[in-house]
Amino acid sequence: MTVAPKLEVAAQSHVGLVRRNNQDNFGSDEEFGLYVVCDGMGGAAGGDIASKIAVETFLTVARQELEKLHDANAECTRCSLERAAAAANRAVLARANYDIALRGMGSTLVAARISAESITLVNVGDSRAYLFQPDRAVQLTQDHSYVAEQVRRGRMTEAQAERSSLQSVITRAIGADVDVIPDLYDAMLHPGSTLLLTTDGLTRHVSQSELAETVAATALCTPQVVCDHLIQLAISRGGSDNITCIVIRAAC
């Protein structure tokens, strides 16, 4: 029988050096192995409200769905997270329709459900999930953004995308339309691995290789120290956006 690794978890959010308020939100339910990060958009008030609604609704519905399943298989878990993302989308859209001052608000969402060594991920927008292992680093999610889609179609290079003034243009968001189409992914969290959920306030300034180097260099530190190092690195590069990350380490 496979023994599930013990998880060490930390989360942190920073307003950055440019923005006046923090439109990122994050949350977790460790009993159900749920972790979520959202990056709001739509003005000073709207972005914060959208991401807060998205986090709270996602966790509530995902918990309810998982409670019904008991020993669910991977496909059932994927369906549960998909329903939770859809509920978050409806909740943000309903609030925006109710309050005219919040029209147009929305949020990214990246979330993980960890059960034993299995990771199930759901993603809408350009917040990301990375998996770091001793021998490799992998971006588990794909961005729903204009520049990322141009790169995937071969119309733009990675270097061009990094310099583009259109980096902030996302093509899918929680609360943008009546229906949302999330992407779902599966991965394994083996002992010694680290899962990172983060907003683009970090990844705009820090490359995947630099993320991997930081995680490796802080392997003997607590996940909170890893969060601190990652956020300070983004701040040292200009901190042009809010920066949020959840670090989940599977103990050896």
One-letter amino acid for residue 134 of the chain:
P
Look-up of token digits 């890893």: 226
Integer angstrom CA distances of residue 246 from 12, 68, 172, 223:
7, 27, 22, 9
At residue 163, the pLDDT reads 80
- Quickly state the pLDDT bin for 69 (edges 50, 70, 90): confident
- Domain regions of the chain by residue span: 7-250
The pTM of the full predicted model, rounded to 2 decimals, is 0.95
What does the alpha-carbon distance between residue 26 and residue 78 come to, in Å, rounded to a whole number? 20
Please state which of the four CATH numbers 3.40.50.280, 3.60.40.10, 3.30.110.40, 3.30.70.1140 is assigned to the domain occupying 7-250.
3.60.40.10
Give 110 or 148, the one with higher predicted confidence. 110
At residue 44, the pLDDT reads 58
> Which backbone phi and psi does 206 adopt, to 5 degrees?
-125, 125
At residue 160, the pLDDT reads 85
Of 44, 46, 52, 45, nearest in space to 24 by CA: 52
Look-up of token digits 């147009």: 104
What's the whole-number average pLDDT of the chain?
Answer: 93
Classify residue 143 as exposed, middle or buried by CB count within 10 Å of its CB (0-12, 13-18, 19+): buried
Average pLDDT, integer, range 32-57: 92
At residue 129, the pLDDT reads 98
Look-up of token digits 């992407």: 183
Q: Answer whether 39's CB lies under 8 Å from 242's CB.
A: yes
- Quickly state the pLDDT bin for 68 (edges 50, 70, 90): confident
Angle at 185 between CA 182 and CA 189, to 5 degrees: 140
At residue 164, the pLDDT reads 81
Of 194, 202, 195, nearest in space to 230 by CA: 202
What does the alpha-carbon distance between residue 90 and residue 10 come to, in Å, rounded to a whole number? 29
**DSSP-derived 3-state class of residue 69:** helix
Average pLDDT, integer, range 54-82: 91
Give 154 or 125, the one with higher predicted confidence. 125
- Quickly state the pLDDT bin for 1 (edges 50, 70, 90): very low
Query: Given a cut of 90, is residue 126 above it in pLDDT?
Result: yes
Q: What is the pLDDT of residues 208-241, one digit of tens each?
A: 999 999 999 999 999 999 999 999 999 999 999 9
